[in-house]
Structure 1
Amino acid sequence: MSALFGARFWRRCLLLASLALAMPAWSAEILLTAAEDGPGVQAFAQALREQRPADSVTFKALPDMPAPGQLPGSTRLILLDLPSLDWRLQDTQGPATLVLRISRLQARERLGNHVPAKISLLWSDPPVDRQLRLIANILPQARRIGVLYGSDSEFLLPELRQHAAALGLEIVAQHWDNINDSRPLLSLFKNSDVLLGLDDPQLYNPKTVKNLLLSSYARQLPLIGPNAGFVRAGSLASTYSDQADWLNVLDRLLDRPQAGWPRSLYPDHFKVVGNPQVARSLGIEQVDETAVATRLAEGEKHP
């Protein structure tokens, strides 16, 4: 009997050991929040669950959230919109937080030049250096890069000029403070080879899109950016990151200790979108989206 009992005991020990080895070393509590629930939010949360099956991924609408300081410090908090960022900023306590899909202008409006501790910003607007390299790839003859800017986006100009100089390009900047006045546009068009749109909603919005695009067509001047949506409306091309790219970034960050999260980050995974009809109307070769994206990715440096 003792021999039989001993054999059963060791078989159970082996079974428990094999189960322990099969289980993940650790799992994370991942909490997503936004002001409103909806199909898009639920689809994103479900995609993250499928990507990280060992973790507990939960979505909770902002009205149902406690104060940030009441959340466990081990929680990996992901904010999906600006109202949730405003909620998080009300409390200096709380877990490390990833702010997803926020633009440089939106962050500056809320944070100025200071990113609070425990906050990591994942930028939604295309990085200006990537957009400039896109221009160099698809329009190699272009040297003078026209840029409209407003009071909200002026802070991007020094960075733009620095990256442009490294590529042998010149930034021709034009302030546009009255979208009903086309004279700044005409002045910029006369002195530029191509236009680079900044993700500034005061300048690039449904009210200005018709004037901007018709003016660029009339001058046979391509417009790059400011985002994928504007390409569908009539600009030539842009870089962008989609949901799969964001999930890739999150997957990498969530594998790191929270103390190692960067203060801000552009997705290193991205795609290129072009508008073939616009290319034809401007007499420009159609953008090979996959090939251009590959060349741009190969030229980027990552830590």
Structure 2
Amino acid sequence: MKTATLLLCVFTACALAQHPELKTGPNADLGGALLMPAGDEWNRDVSKDEVDPLSDAIIAAIGAEKGLHEDFGLVWQGQPGGIPYYVVSGDQPKVPVIFREAKDESDPGPYPIPPDAWIEGGSQSDGDRHVLVLDKDNWKLYEIYRAFPLSGGKEWQAYSGSVFDLKAPKPRPAGWTSADAAGLPIMPGLARYDEICGTKKLAHALRFTVKKSRRAYVPPATHFASPHKDDNLPPMGMRVRLKASFDTSRFSGAAKVILEGLKTHGMILADNGGDWFISGAPDDRWHHEELLPIRQVKGRELEVVKMGPMTTR
């Protein structure tokens, strides 16, 4: 009995201290840690998967001659480009979040959002205004969209929000959004400096956007955000990868790490935005000129990984 109790205590202690070595704060270095379990869809090796029959048509619809574009690592309108996040400990006080437009598809608060949480685009932004918070001790992710602090951050107002248990993540209910158009978590799909330039290995799929998506979604997505029904437009959740035949030997540094990762894990369509725009987290250590070479890679060098069942309702 004593042995069983001891083992239970040890297990509980481990469960409550998932990553005690991580620092807290805005865009804290994660040391290359994978956010999702090894077998999760975000981390899956898709290099051997079949090509979707609609691949050529979809690539053409997005832009076969358009290049990849890094949506991070630069300054845009006076603010660091990218989607920021905040790492907190398990004792971070939770505050109420008032959901407006997508209240019925949002996970209710409270959320452990610090009053000085970094809002995407800055406090004056009229854009997506994402706020992402990672609880390093309970290994949970809290994300809200169109976030506005009230009463100095004692509570928040948002369009939508979602909570993901990163130890055992579950998809959103069918038809539900999240803080992202596709109903997916955002943070696991961001390009982070600690991976790209730290461990020098990209071990998960990246998040990307297109200007015009289809009124449809495929797994792992659970939601669409478009009125367009053209079969050649990309559905939310669609994954593309860099063709195995693409020669990356002329690339180096951060650009090469990203491109090699796109061969293995690809990138998942998660929102509407710029065509072939890849999402990443802000970090003062990015050297933008090291990322620019990925723009040489055109849409025709990509292919759509065979898609699963499509929801179009």
TM bin, normalised by shorter chain, reads: under 0.3
**Structure of greater Rg:** 1
TM-score by length of 1: 0.26
TM-score by length of 2: 0.25
Higher helix share: 1
